[in-house]
Structure 1
């Protein structure tokens, strides 16, 4: 039986000068954000884009708080990656957990893995384990950051650097909005940024363990997220406004 050929970290033909310019611009974006807002928070998934932002925050010393959504269904590699990141950069990442009552309400209605039954149950699970915790993590914040890029999916092609998060009434920034996948990996390689172990096993996009799988070479990089749903259902709701 032939083993499938999975996604692998892409090579980049970006010149050293072009990469250096991108890095300077990224750091300046972060500093400009913190000059405008007093309480800026960064939601890190600990995957490649977010690790590049983490490194840029650490290097620029931008005053930005880190948090991650500890959904209770993450890969062990992701749980371990949080500590790896804290140790490498000497920073603290707040772990934001879902409410036990919300998780139990989902289980009571749909079952532990009921999200496989369709878009509705999937949204309900993400609502309990990700969206409500995100809302709690952003209470009191003036602005927040994401690792979204235009090239990640068809739902993000019109992504801007700065947006109004209508759902939460605060400003949201996507400092890597105009970066390519290859740009991200060029940065990570040059700056020796810690790499999530699952990226080395064919996972370009990483979410909860039961909802993420490896991607075959040539597939969309988010094809492994909620793979049992249609291609236009590759968002959990974190980045959807009212």
Structure 2
């Protein structure tokens, strides 16, 4: 089974413009993410896919591999689908450019999902992390996921789901923005229309569910700090200093 990693990277992030080029303990956020993915030694190749000359040049100058996007894209998955169409691979792992703490163990778990799926019932695999802190649960920057009894995703939301109507001991899981696709599922995704749920929550994973793609969730306990805000960057810097 051949697997590659693709890291979609936009420069003009709406909540934190230029965040991927911010300094994180001596290297840019995007280089930290690229190196963490490359150093996992799980992939036949790792690429950054970007619409930005600045990010493209940053990766190339550090000896990495980068692909310049041609078209305009609504999501990171759309961006990597364009790049991967003519690349020979079975599995495409979409690693978010603002996830510098990407680790080997959870990536390996995602790839094992497909190795163990001989019937090819799984289209996409992704990660979830249990949350306990109430502020983190209520933070709309933390996407929550609820699953069925076999860990297939039922819904993703920026709202805290499930809603604890009677203050029950509900479990909350944060969605970690790393996807592993069968190549054919990724190419299918790009041809599907954006539905009202995706438009409302601004979550591309809702397009998967709305069109019947099966998303298997894998629990992880990795440190999950996406760089969405300047405060997130400060947290990340503090971790590197430790």
TM-score for the superposition, normalised by structure 1: 0.30
Greater relative contact order (CA < 8 Å, ≥ 6 in sequence): 1
TM-score for the superposition, normalised by structure 2: 0.30
Q: Which has the larger strand fraction?
A: 2
Q: Which has the larger helix fraction?
A: 1
